[in-house]
Structures are given as C-alpha cells and as structure tokens.
A and B are shown apart, each in its own frame.
Chain A
Amino acid sequence: EVQLLESGGGLVQPGGSLRLSCAASGFMFSSYVMSWVRQAPGKGLECVSSITGNGGNTHYADSVKGRFTISRDHSRNTVTLQMNSLTAEDTAVYFCAKGILNSVIVAGNYFDDWGQGTLVTVSS
C-alpha cells in the first residue's frame, strides 16, 4: 500500500523559511515523479513543484520559482520542499503527491496517490 506522510508545516513569519518533508513507502520510490501541490484556505489546487525519480529534472510554478527548492533522498525515500522568502500568499495546506509517470516533460501524468497534507501558515 502506498503511503505518503508529510511533515514540517507550521507557523512562520513573513520572510522566513520552512522545510517540508514527505516520507514515501509502498512503491519503488525512484521510479516516479513526486510533486508538491498546495491549497490555500478555501481555494483551489496549485502544483508548485515536481521532481523526477532520479532527481535530474525539476519543475516549479512561476509563483515559487527562485524561492522554493525540491529535492529527494533515495536512502530515506523522502521528498523535501525547502521554502524561503515566504509570504502570506504561501499560506496553504501542502500535499505530497505521486505521479504515475517518471517525467515532468512527457504529457499524460496524473497523481494517483496523495498524502494527507501539512499546513503552512505565514503570518506575523
């Protein structure tokens, strides 16, 4: 059974940093794209970052480019999202999601498994 468990959320001041982690199990970790999808309170879904199975290719939404960094650790089967220069607009629940294809370029990917989410609140 696939399990994705996010951690690291919390309250942070504007301009601060936070590091989210997603612990994955139940599948061949290195064979799938992993993504972070966020949802601001009462709003829709936004895919903020994705990384291929070997970590060689990444993608970022324009809204976080230059501030967020995605990485993965194959020894611990974890995906990490380092978030810097946070603003109130980054306040959201952040979900970790597994893509069915191991590519951020090839069309046709979709998220077949999701974590339960971790809440990030940016406020003074």
Chain B
Amino acid sequence: DIQMTQSPSSLAASVGDRVSITCRASQSISGYLNWYQQKPGKAPRLLIYITSSLQSGVPSRFSGSGSGTDFTLTISSLQPEDFATYYCQQTYTSSWTFGQGTKVEIK
C-alpha cells in the first residue's frame, strides 16, 4: 500500500495566519490526492479533491497544490472555524490510504 505522511502532526496558529500542511506519498500518485477536515465527534468533510479542486461550499481560503509525491494544503487566513484535524488521502491505487492527520490548534 502507498504510505501517506503528513507534516507537521500538529501546529498552533492564530486567527488570520497563513497555514500550510504537507502530505508526502511513498510513491507517485499522479495528483490523485484529496484533503478532508474533521472536527471532534464529527464525520470528515471533503475540502479539496484531485490536488487542487475546491469542493462546492468550501471557502476559497482553502487551496491545494502539488504533484508526484508532494502535496500541500494551504489556508490563506485562518478562521476560528478552521481549528480542526486535516487528513490527506490518496486514491491512485485501489487501496485508498489516508495520512495520519494534522491537528491545527489555537495559539
């Protein structure tokens, strides 16, 4: 299976900060990389699909980029409702795997 590694595992930031989360795949996944947001006790929510496409209803402060094995989720100006855990997911192979998650906390 393709291993997905996110960094950092957690970060503390302030409202208004620009935040970036990195996801690295153990082999090329040709851009088939998705990002989800999860808040405590809730189901994950799709933010970005296939590297950079913004899911309907998701604020434009979220963006995705990358290629090959290295991908980034960026929040341009962190809002109070963005404090959550973020997961990347590859769907290049049949064994769809997630990163271990990045928890974004309030500084």
Check if B62 is an interface residue, CB within 8 A of chain A.
no
CB < 8 Å neighbour of B87 from A35, A45, A95, A100: A45
Contact with A along B1-19 (1 / 0, CB 8 A): 1000000000000000000
Contact A47 B98 (CB under 8 A): yes
- Count A-B pairs with CB separation below 8 Å: 62
The answer to whether A111 and B46 touch (CB under 8 A), given A44-B101, A59-B95, A62-B1, is yes
Cα of A112 to Cα of B49 in the assembled complex, Å: 9
Contact with A along B57-101 (1 / 0, CB 8 A): 000000000000000000000000000000101011111111111
**Chain A interface SS verdict (over half):** loop
Q: Would you give the shortest CB distance from B31 to chain A, in whole angstroms?
A: 8
Contact with B along A70-107 (1 / 0, CB 8 A): 00000000000000000000000001000010001101
Check if A115 is an interface residue, CB within 8 A of chain B.
yes
**Chain B interface SS verdict (over half):** loop
Cα of A44 to Cα of B89 in the assembled complex, Å: 11
Contact with B along A12-51 (1 / 0, CB 8 A): 0000000000000000000000010100000011110010
Cα of A45 to Cα of B44 in the assembled complex, Å: 9
> How many B residues have CB within 8 A of the partner chain?
27
The answer to whether A47 and B44 touch (CB under 8 A), given A108-B50, A109-B91, is no
Check if A61 is an interface residue, CB within 8 A of chain B.
yes
Place the interface of chain A in its size category.
20 to 34
Check if B34 is an interface residue, CB within 8 A of chain A.
yes
The answer to whether A108 and B32 touch (CB under 8 A), given A95-B43, A114-B44, is yes
Cα of A105 to Cα of B50 in the assembled complex, Å: 16
Contact A108 B91 (CB under 8 A): yes
CB < 8 Å neighbour of A116 from B38, B43, B94, B96: B43
Contact A44 B96 (CB under 8 A): no
Contact B100 A111 (CB under 8 A): no
A46, A95, A108, A117 interface centre (most CB from chain B within 10 Å): A108
A–B Cβ pairs within 8 angstroms, 6 of them: A45-B36, A45-B101, A47-B95, A47-B98, A95-B43, A110-B34
